[in-house]
Amino acid sequence: MNIVIGSDHGGFALKEELKKRLTEQGCQVKDVGCSGNETADYPEIAEKLCRTLLDEKKDFGILCCGTGIGVSIAANKIKGIRAALCSDCYSARMAKAHNNANVITLGGRTVGTELAWMMVQEYMKETFLGGIHETRVNMINNL
């Protein structure tokens, strides 16, 4: 899997841990920042990640900030991006199966590392179901 990952300072520690685990699992992970605990502006990171995902045709993206909210709002402004804020495993699975999300967003200050890791794994195991869900995703694309 070819993944792009990014965070602001609020999601930095979580991003680092997820990057480490994904790399250990054999995934190619491109990190678009930030690179430390210094204050970073999440809209900039979200845009950088989304452009990278689309331009380099990555399989999916992971964005982390304090809550996961700011990066999801920012990412969803970019055409072609379907970013899903996840805080439980069922939502992480449905983000893929029903919404065909190409970015998942997570809160470094709101979910623990193990739950975040489980959510990433659940999302990665799922496949988009298509059919009526594809019709609805197309309706989103046409909004």
Q: Report d(CA 85, CA 122) in Å as an integer.
A: 14
42 binds ligand RB5 (CB under 6 A): yes
Q: Identify the burial level of 89 via C-beta atoms within 10 angstroms of its C-beta, where 0-12 means exposed, 13-18 middle and 19 or more buried.
A: middle
The binder of ligand RB5 chosen from 15, 70, 76, 106 (CB under 6 A): 70
Task: Answer whether 74's CB lies under 8 Å from 46's CB.
Answer: yes
Q: Which is nearer to ligand RB5, 23 or 37 (CB)?
A: 37
6 binds ligand RB5 (CB under 6 A): no
Q: Which is nearer to ligand RB5, 63 or 92 (CB)?
A: 63
Short-list 90, 96, 85, CA closest to 129: 96
Q: Which stretch binds ligand RB5 (CB under 6 A): 14-22, 50-58, 59-67, 115-123?
A: 59-67
User: Token pair of 122, please?
Assistant: 């659940």
User: Token pair of 115, please?
Assistant: 């739950």
List interacting residues with ligand RB5 (CB under 6 A). 8, 10, 42, 65-67, 69-70
Give the active site residues. Answer: 65, 98
